[in-house]
Amino acid sequence: MKEHVERVYDEAYDFIDQALQQIRSVECTEEADDEIKEKRQRTEIALQAARDILENMIIPGKKLTFIYENGSVVVEIPEK
């Protein structure tokens, strides 16, 4: 079971990392409409937050705030 979880973790992390690199490589020109610019920004924040969550141990009763250039994400796991 441990090996399976580790494999899935590694696959998920690699996928997120590759997708993050891809979205960051997209240049939004001035001609791009606001919807596309916003979607790119939301995608980058979501992928960065997913990667940060995988990288950090989150235990019950703790709250983590991830701060990015264009926003922040708060993750809180309630105590059981």
pLDDT in tens, 30-75: 777 888 888 999 999 999 999 999 998 778 888 899 999 888 999 9
Give residue 26's pLDDT.
87
Read off the tokens for 37. 């610019």
Helix (H, G, I), strand (E, B) or coil at 47: helix
- Structure confidence at residue 7 as a pLDDT band (50, 70, 90): very high
8 A C-beta contact, residue 39 and residue 23: no
Give residue 53's pLDDT.
92
